[in-house]
């Protein structure tokens, strides 16, 4: 997310914000639902729709000193035109760089003076604008958010500066093996599918963007039709509705109908991408395959199985690869489910000398999971971990609001949050084993390694066919299939 860039330091605003944050931290410890009395429960937000199509949710919590606002827009990287990857991200960044009413410094100083914060950023499937202000300043803060979204200045000098910073940020991945590995694996796994696009773009695509591209994208995608705003904190429905209709009611526009994004076919066989980084003393490793979309019911048993495999400190991967063998300090497996498809993958690193040993051990453990090695005791541990962690994960007001946005975005249905623990605990051993047998990859997978090609290419060939690319390929290449 791109935070409003401050101009001159505003001492009054800084002091106000510090006091608010302390008060928020104390108040946030209060449960949003009646968790202490039994099953975890939360209050559903009150909901209405403006005439322009913008969906609004209000999550009232009297006593909190802050009001947090999150605006979700249908403007993610998947909407970037071909060859213009990074456009959604750059457009979101520029929202905070001045408006039609105030230049960048004046806008930032106004936000700081109010003791507030405004952020904007774009992810793969959506853009987000987030704001946080004192509850007493809700109307003013909401107005600043609306001004930022509806009336960005898009000044050429700010565009040139932010585009240059974006390119520099992409180039910085060359010195960040973990970031480079994440970008490389996404491209290697998804290929030319929209989910393979880097949200920040490549040096080539971002360098070619123009201010006219940003203006056109904003006009087409930053619109109320398809937008969702959630407000959480000490504000009631009547007050929220009046303020929101005042600043967003005259906003117009409907986003273009989203093209259907079909799930790609899973990888067949093993294929290895070796990104050459000759100076690396340890190698980054990612491996996995295409899996389920977020709304698929089988995601739940797969999440339970994956928790046992590699999510949590007592997982198989951590126990065998880190604790017993000492091959890495960090390893995890993850179910990355999106609207149209998802993935199940493992990410870790190891010394160059033990890369092949590490990969083979990971595959061995994945084969154990896929082959029915999950036992009842493992299942209990995985279910208890996920069910117990969930209330803590969404305890903070902004985290709970984000969860409601996810429920809306992925079409998970009313009552999803309240029913989460029950669904997790209802997963049977047979269901978890079946999901693992279907979706945990072993013989079919994409593998990406960032390390010295000279010493790794030969040993990796024993696992599968190897394609070697320079590190620059990851950040510069056009978005063609590898």
Which element (helix H / strand E) includes 454? helix 453-460
Q: What's the pLDDT at 13?
A: 45
With a cut of 80, say whether residue 7 has pLDDT above it. Answer: no
pLDDT average, residue stretch 332-341: 95
At 420-460, the pLDDT tens digits run 999 999 999 999 999 999 999 999 999 999 999 999 999 99
The residues that bridge with 348 in the sheet, in sequence order, are 285, 331
Closest CA to 416 of 404, 432, 425, 428: 404
Yes or no: say if 213 and 205 are a contact pair by the CB < 8 Å rule.
Answer: no
Yes or no: say if 27 and 197 are a contact pair by the CB < 8 Å rule.
Answer: no
- C-alpha 4 chain-centroid distance: 20
Q: Is 321 exposed, middle or buried (0-12, 13-18, 19+ CB in 10 A)?
A: buried
pLDDT average, residue stretch 262-285: 95
With a cut of 80, say whether residue 126 has pLDDT above it. Answer: yes
Q: Which of 135-144, 296-305, 392-401 has the lowest mean pLDDT?
A: 392-401
Q: What's the pLDDT at 256?
A: 82
CA neighbours closer than 13 Å in the CB half-sphere of residue 457 = 12
Tokens of 148: 């930022």
The pLDDT confidence band at residue 2, using thresholds 50, 70 and 90, is: low
At 348-375, the pLDDT tens digits run 999 999 999 999 999 999 999 999 999 9
With a cut of 80, say whether residue 21 has pLDDT above it. Answer: no
Cβ-based neighbour number of residue 390 at 10 Å: 16
- C-alpha 329 chain-centroid distance: 24
Q: What's the pLDDT at 63?
A: 86
The pLDDT confidence band at residue 260, using thresholds 50, 70 and 90, is: confident
Query: How many degrees, rounded to 5, is the angle at CA 137 between CA 13 and CA 98?
Result: 65
Yes or no: say if 116 and 17 are a contact pair by the CB < 8 Å rule.
Answer: yes
Domains annotated for the chain, with CATH where assigned, are 2-248 (3.30.830.10), 270-476 (3.30.830.10)
Cα separation, 58 vs 50, whole angstroms: 13
Q: What's the pLDDT at 481?
A: 43
Q: What is the mean pLDDT of the chain?
A: 91
The pLDDT confidence band at residue 86, using thresholds 50, 70 and 90, is: very high
The residues that bridge with 286 in the sheet, in sequence order, are 347, 448
Q: pTM of this prediction?
A: 0.89
Closest CA to 448 of 329, 366, 349, 326: 349
Max distance between CA atoms of the chain, in angstroms, equals 67
Taking the CA atoms of 216, 217, 218 and 222 in sequence, report the sign of the dihedral they define: positive
Closest CA to 340 of 424, 229, 436, 258: 258
With a cut of 80, say whether residue 32 has pLDDT above it. Answer: no
Q: What's the pLDDT at 129?
A: 98
Q: What's the pLDDT at 1?
A: 64
How is 390-418 classified by DSSP, letter by letter?
A: HHHHT-SHHHHHHHHHHHHHHT--TTTTT
């Amino acid at each position: 997310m791109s935070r409003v860039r401050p101009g001159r330091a505003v001492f009054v605003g800084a002091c106000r914000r510090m006091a608010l944050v302390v008060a928020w931290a104390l108040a946030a410890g209060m449960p949003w639902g009646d968790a202490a009395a039994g099953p975890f429960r939360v209050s559903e937000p009150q909901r209405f729709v403006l005439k322009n199509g913008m969906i609004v949710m209000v999550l009232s919590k009297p006593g909190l000193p802050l009001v947090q606002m999150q605006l979700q827009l249908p403007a993610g990287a998947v909407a970037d035109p071909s060859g213009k990857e990074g456009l959604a991200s750059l457009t979101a960044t520029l929202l905070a760089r001045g408006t039609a009413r105030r230049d960048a410094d004046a806008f930032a100083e106004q936000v700081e003076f109010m003791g507030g914060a405004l952020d904007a950023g774009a992810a793969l499937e959506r853009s987000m604008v987030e704001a946080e202000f004192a509850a007493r300043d809700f109307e003013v803060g909401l107005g600043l958010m609306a001004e930022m979204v509806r009336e960005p200045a898009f000044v050429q000098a700010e565009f040139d500066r932010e585009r240059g910073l974006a390119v520099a940020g992409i180039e910085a991945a060359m010195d960040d093996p973990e970031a480079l590995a994440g970008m490389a694996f996404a491209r290697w796994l998804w290929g030319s599918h929209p989910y393979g696009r880097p949200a920040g773009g490549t040096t080539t695509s971002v360098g070619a963007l123009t201010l006219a591209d940003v203006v056109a994208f904003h006009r087409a995608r930053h619109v109320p039709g398809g937008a969702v705003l959630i407000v959480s904190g000490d504000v009631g429905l009547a007050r929220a509705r009046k303020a929101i209709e005042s600043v967003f009611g005259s906003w117009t526009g409907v986003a273009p109908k989203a093209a259907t994004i079909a799930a790609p076919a899973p990888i067949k066989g093993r294929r290895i991408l070796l990104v050459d980084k000759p100076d690396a003393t340890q190698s980054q490793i990612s491996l996995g395959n295409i899996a389920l979309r977020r709304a698929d019911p089988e995601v739940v048993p797969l999440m339970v199985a994956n928790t046992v495999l590699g999510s949590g400190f007592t997982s198989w991967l951590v126990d065998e690869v880190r604790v017993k063998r000492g091959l890495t300090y960090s390893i995890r497996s993850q179910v990355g489910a999106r609207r149209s498809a998802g993935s199940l993958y493992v990410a870790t690193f190891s010394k160059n000398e033990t890369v092949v040993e590490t990969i083979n051990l990971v595959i061995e453990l994945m084969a154990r999971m896929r082959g029915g090695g999950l036992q009842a005791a493992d299942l209990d541990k995985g279910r208890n971990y996920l069910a117990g962690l969930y209330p803590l994960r969404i305890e903070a007001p902004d985290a709970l609001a984000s969860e409601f946005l996810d429920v809306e975005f992925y079409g998970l249905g009313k009552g999803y949050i309240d029913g989460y623990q029950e669904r997790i605990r209802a997963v049977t051993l047979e269901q978890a084993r079946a999901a693992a047998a279907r979706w945990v990859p072993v013989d079919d997978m994409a593998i990406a390694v960032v390390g010295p090609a000279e010493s790794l290419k030969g040993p990796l060939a024993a696992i599968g066919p190897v394609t070697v690319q320079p590190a620059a390929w990851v950040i510069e290449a056009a978005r063609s299939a590898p």
